[in-house]
Amino acid sequence: MARQDTLIFGCSALGHEVAMQLSERGIQVYLYSNNLDEVGGLLAKGLQAAVIDYTDDEKLLGIGIGKWVKTIFCLFSEEPKNLFLTLSARALDPDLKIICVAESIESSGRLLAAGATKVIDPYEISGQRVHEMIARPYLVEMLEHTVFGKHIDIAEIEIPDSSVLAGMALSDLELNKKYDLIVLGVVDLELSNQLIFTNSGVDHRLDAGDILVVIGCKQEIERLRQGVSAAGEP
């Protein structure tokens, strides 16, 4: 068995969907469930899945939680299961990224208290999307075709040590002229993990280790990635 660093618990429709989306992005995942039937269904669809008793810490250690696993998704349809798994996994590894599904505002509060890194409520998001479709139809149509479609990507680009960009101010970059890209902002992990927007008025001076957040076509993003790591002129 290969050592996957992303695991999905819960093999419902939601788990299946996330697994598909991740594999489209080139991330290999392994799915776990305590329900034999669900696992069988996923295996038949060609996904990697296995049965596990998630209440047993030894078993969780056995599949790499607390060792090499970096991200887990708790996608059981019952909230108590997600809560239990979140608590167990958090106890095993304080740095683990735990992403949970929640079906109400109260349950998302409980999951965050149990140690989840991020709680996503699919119904809340869908409701917002429906509202956006009504309130701003053109924008939604545009985003569907670009950001949510396959044309435009959002990427994080870390500035390496030797980059020429280090030391430059955010406003001097003018990346949207040199590349067909929009620089949304920058994250300086030494300050906080909040994004500093390009338009915020704060002219941040870049240094190595900062993360640029850019929007654009895949090729342009790749070109920038190479340009940034190159020691020469970007």
Partner 1 sequence: MSFAQKIIKYCYTLEGSSRYKGLKGGVYNLLQNPRAPIRPYFDIFMILLVLLSVWLLIYEVKHDLGLWGDLIEVGAVTIFIIEYLLRFWLYNDSHKVIIERYERAEFINETFRLGPALYSAVIGKLRYMVQPLAIIDLLAIIPSYRPLRFLRIFLLFRLFKLFRYTRSISEFVKVLSEKRIELVTLFIFMAFITFTAATAIFFFEAEHDGGQIDGFFDSVYWALVTMSTVGYGDITPQTTEGRVISLVLIIAGLGVISFFTSIIVSAFGEKIHEIRAHRVFSEVERKHVDTLVCGFGRVGQVVAERLSEDKRSFVVVDPLEENIRLAKQRGYLAVMGNGEDNSLLVSMGIDTRINRLLCLTGDDVVNVYITLIARQMNPDIEIISRANHRENVNKLYRAGASHCVAPYEVFGLIAAEYAGQPVAFEAVYGLLTRQTSEGIEAVRIKRDSSLAGKQMGEIDFLARKLIPFGIIRDGCCDSEIDNSCFNLNERCFYFNPGEQFTLQANDLLVLIGHEYSVVHLRDCLERGEL
Site string for partner 1, 190-209 (x = CB under 8 A): ---x-x-xxxxx--------
Torsion of CA 184, 187, 188, 192, to 10 degrees: 130
Least spacing, CB of residue 139 vs partner 1, in Å: 5
Q: Of these, 36, 139, 208, 230, which contacts partner 1 (CB under 8 A)?
A: 139
Pick between residue 56 and residue 129 the one whose CB is nearest to partner 1.
Answer: 129
Q: Report 22-61 residues binding partner 1 (CB under 8 A).
A: 22, 24-25, 27
Structure tokens at 81: 């299961």
Residue 211 binds to partner 1 (criterion: CB under 8 A): yes
Residue type, 134: I
The reply to whether 184 sits near partner 1 by the rule CB under 8 A is: yes
CB 60 within 8 Å of CB 48: no
Residue 182 binds partner 1, judged by CB under 8 A: yes
Applying CB under 8 A, the site for partner 1 has a residue count of 73
Q: In sequence order, which residues have a C-beta less than 8 Å from that of residue 168 and are 6 or more positions away?
A: 205, 206
| In contact, 74 and 50? CB cutoff 8 Å | no
Angstrom distance (rounded) from CA 33 to CA 78: 12
Stretch touching partner 1 by CB under 8 A, among 44-52, 56-64, 215-223, 224-232 = 215-223
* One-letter amino acid for residue 210 of the chain: D
Q: Which amino acid, one-letter code, is at 70?
A: K
Judged by CB under 8 A, the chain residues 104 through 123 that form the site for partner 1 are 104, 118, 120-123
Q: What's the rounded Cα separation, in Å, for the pair 25 and 48?
A: 16
- Asked if 73 touches partner 1 (CB under 8 A), the answer is yes
Question: From the CB of 155, what's the least distance to partner 1, in Å?
Answer: 6
Q: Residue 148 and residue 141: Cα distance in Å, rounded?
A: 10
Binding mask 152-181 for partner 1 (x = CB under 8 A): x-xxx--------------x----xx--xx
